[in-house]
Amino acid sequence: MIKTSFAAVLAAVLSICVFTNHAHAVMTGLSTEELTKSSHAVITGTVEDVQSYWSSDRKTIFTTASIKISEVIRGKAVQNTITVEYEGGEVDGIGLRISDMAVLSKGEKILLFLKTVKSKKAEQKEDVFRIVGKAQGKYHIDNQGIARKSGFSVIDGKEVIDNEVSVETLINKIKGVE
């Protein structure tokens, strides 16, 4: 009886440990080619402003970031400044963090893979952009010209992700996608 109970408890604990390690990693890695093909635009730029707000039903927090475009690598962006919107943020001391979601910070230099969508903000009439592939669609560009990804986990496909690459190499790779 005790051996059977111990074996059952041990099996349950091991099952939880095995499945818990992979439970947080729900995305499949996306290659630069896949991100490019799924995007309406790929740009480099600088985050000028970031503001969070409640959804109209006050159940979700969204954030809009104003991005000053340095270069349109692929696709079209008709303005020099665009709005990127994503789920998550902080309003009045209440925060919402979405797993694997890209977060943008004021002053940050970035390369983004973007899709045009309708805004969740009721008073926003113009289309906004969403980052393709959550955090996989965002590169932070450092002062040495290196583009780095972070803030996400993948269950498979790690080998196809360009995590750290020179901006020049990355841009050439994006421009080479048919």
DSSP-assigned letter for residue 28? E
Least confident of 13-22, 75-84, 97-106, 117-126: 13-22
> What CATH number is given to the structural domain containing 96?
2.40.50
* Domain assignment present for 2: no
Surface-to-core class of residue 109, CB atoms within 10 Å of its CB (0-12 exposed, 13-18 middle, 19+ buried): middle
pLDDT over 70, % of the chain:
76
30-62 core/surface letters (b: 16 or more CB in 10 A; e: else): bbbebbbeebbbbbbbbbeebebbbeeeeeebb
Number of domains in the chain: 1
Return the structure tokens found at 85: 């919107």
DSSP-assigned letter for residue 110? E
pLDDT grade, residue 10 (50/70/90)? very low
Tokens 């939880």 correspond to 16
Residue 155 has pLDDT above 50, yes or no: yes
* Domain assignment present for 7: no
Contact (Cβ atoms closer than 8 angstroms) between residue 120 and residue 53: no
Please give the model's pTM, rounded to 2 decimal places. Answer: 0.79
Domain residue limits at 66? 26-175
Say how many residues make up the chain: 178
pLDDT grade, residue 99 (50/70/90)? confident
* Domain assignment present for 15: no
* Domain assignment present for 36: yes
Return the structure tokens found at 146: 């290196």
Return the structure tokens found at 101: 């979601």
Smallest Cα–Cα separation from 160: which of 142, 178, 141, 133?
Answer: 133
